[in-house]
Amino acid sequence: MPLAKPTLIIFGRLPVPGQCKTRLIPALGAQGAAQLYSRMLLRTLREAQAANLGDVILMLTPSPQAARLDASLAPLMAELDRELSHGLVHEPNTIRITLEAQPEGTLGERMQQAMARHLPNGPVMLMGSDLPALDSQRLREAADELALHDAVLQPSKDGGYGLIGLNQPCPDAFSLARWSHANVCLETLTQLTHAGRATYCLPVSWDVDEPEDLEQLALDFPALMKEHSSPFLIS
């Protein structure tokens, strides 16, 4: 019997200048880095809808509830709410995107808790929001492989990974001693193997973290690099 379509969780941030994509600030400035991130986030959400998988959940930091009550963040949160309600694709059968707060803790703890929250309902894929090459076709490929394997990983050129999918909880996959280094994907694959999980690795992709990533972004996705305000970044 085939598995249900996976729930897709997207980890995202409110695009507050100075608080997102900080490693891009030397190249773009705080405002420019936030504007670029907001465009990448919207692209990610559109591709997630277009993949036509299971539920799509944007897990946000700061939490949506806290942002709506913070006078400095409420206008930005309101713009995001409007974008989710009216700005994205809303055909009759299009999957709606729901908002949740990201769990607390280290990156590994947050990822493990996020997936554990939804794994009781079926397979789950978790991805970042700065992966423009991880489009709807690649998301469907990941879902197809997750139906055939215990886990799926999307390795990144920097040694990390942009997506992980599981059919059953596996806390060991998130118990790395440290994150943000060149062997994160390899160590995670080792943890999954030791836990007895058959894992499929998708072709290596890339994310946008450092100023040197902007050259490839401009080449492959020039619209994301245009000098214009984001649809939901408050100036």
Q: Which residue has the tokens 């996976």?
A: 6
CB–CB of 170/151 below 8 Å? yes
Backbone φ, ψ for residue 184 (5° rounding): -60, -45
The Cβ-side half-sphere exposure at 206, using a 13 Å CA radius, reads: 12
Residue type, 61: T
Q: Map out the domains of the chain with their CATH numbers.
A: 7-225 (3.90.550.10)
State the pLDDT at residue 233: 55
Please provide the DSSP assignment of 98-120 as one string: EEEEPPSSSHHHHHHHHHHHHGG
Instruction: Answer whether residue 219 shows pLDDT above 60.
Output: yes
State the pLDDT at residue 234: 46
Residue with the bigger pLDDT between 91 and 78: it is 78
* 208 vs 215: CA distance, rounded Å: 10
Average pLDDT across the chain, whole number: 91
Residue with the bigger pLDDT between 223 and 180: it is 223
Q: What is the pTM of this model?
A: 0.93
pLDDT in tens, 4-30: 799 999 999 999 999 999 999 999 999
CB–CB of 47/134 below 8 Å? yes
State the pLDDT at residue 112: 97
